[in-house]
Homo-oligomer: A and B are copies of this chain.
Amino acid sequence: MSPIRLALVGLGKIARDQHLPAIAATDGIELVAVASRNAALDGVAHFATLADLLASREAFDAVALCTPPQGRHDLAALALSAGKHVLLEKPPGATVSELGPLVAAAEVSGRTLFATWHSRFAPAVEPARAFLAEVAPRAVTITWKEDVRVWHPGQRWIWEPGGLGVFDPGINALSILTAILARPVFVTGAELSFPSNCAAPIAATLDLADAGGLKVRADLDFLQTGPQSWDIAVDTDRGTLLIAQGGAQLTLDGQVLCAQPEAEYRTIYKHFVGLVAQGRSDVDLAPLQLVADAFLLGRRVSVAPFHD
């Protein structure tokens, strides 16, 4: 089978840091075009927008959407209507309900829609899931604290409606949580701290539960200087399972269970190639649903303005 001819839409930090090397390292897919208003890539056909690319004679099979979430739906709808497969960066959109028509469009056109959650492909996730399938969790504590100025410099869209603020990294934790627990969780309470000049929260605490009474507490902060934390600690009868470093490391009471090299985006593209070959889609909205529910149920607190 000839490789999937991929167009990358959006050529910002995540596209350069992760997508380009992962595409280059993956069999069965090749980059043939870039659509970006601001940047181009040597040796790859370039267009300002997806619409321009579609209007050209450039032949391609699929798009990877690496633009901010606010415009993702319209780009995905356009690509699907043109018969292209679509890979969505996380979060898959600015709302949950906008995904329904995209899933339907992919089904009707027989194309693949893949809503990626890169953290689910971190090395610790599958072993953690397997462990928790055998040993019931007693409580879960998520600590997700990073410095937005280091990791998202100048990314103003994060603070606009639909940009999610601290939930942009926090949804990664929720994507791991919903992958490793056997039972679905739901939000039972939240407090969201909105800078007075921003439309998205800069910190949040979140309480979740499952039907069996499991309690999950999440503490998200976007102003963490010094050591950064991307940890999920699961209290069990066999000890504390710690998914650390965003999923890069798994320990049980400090003993390392797994420390494989990180390969999140290469696994994403390998999975995408497989989905296209099988004519399947993969769209799980649980992490975004939990964020929407946190906004719905959360108590809002106004905090100091944020300046980049």
Contacts and interface: CB of A to CB of B under 8 A. Distances in A.
Contacts of A101: 183-184, 186, 210-211
Chain A binding site: helix, strand, loop or mixed by DSSP?
mixed
Interface in A78-110: 94-98, 100-101, 104-105
B300 A95 contact: no
Contacts of A183: 101
A300 B300 contact: yes
A297 interface: yes
Contacts of A184: 97, 100-101
A73 to B, nearest CB: 8
Interface stretch (A144-152, A223-231, A284-292): A284-292
Given A295-B295, A296-B296, A298-B161, A289 B96 contact: yes
A166 to B, nearest CB: 14
A297 B94 contact: yes
A302 B196 CA distance: 10
Contacts of A300: 194, 199, 300
A162 to B, nearest CB: 5
Contacts of A94: 296-297
A37 interface: no
A137 to B, nearest CB: 16
Interface residues of A, number: 38
Interface in A258-308: 286, 289-293, 295-300, 302
A50 to B, nearest CB: 17
Query: Which of A105, A162, A184: most chain B CB closer than 10 A?
Result: A162
Given A77-B211, A295-B292, A300-B194, A185 B104 contact: no
How many chain copies does the complex carry? 2
A211 B297 contact: no
A11 interface: no
Nearest to A290: B97
Nearest to A189: B161
Q: Tell which of A95, A100, A189, A290 has the most Cβ of chain B within 10 Å.
A: A95
A187 interface: yes
Nearest to A199: B299
14 contacts: A95-B186, A95-B293, A95-B296, A95-B297, A96-B96, A96-B293, A97-B187, A98-B188, A98-B293, A101-B210, A161-B189, A161-B190, A162-B297, A291-B296
Interface of A: 73, 77, 94-98, 100-101, 104-105, 161-162, 183-190, 194, 199, 210-211, 286, 289-293, 295-300, 302
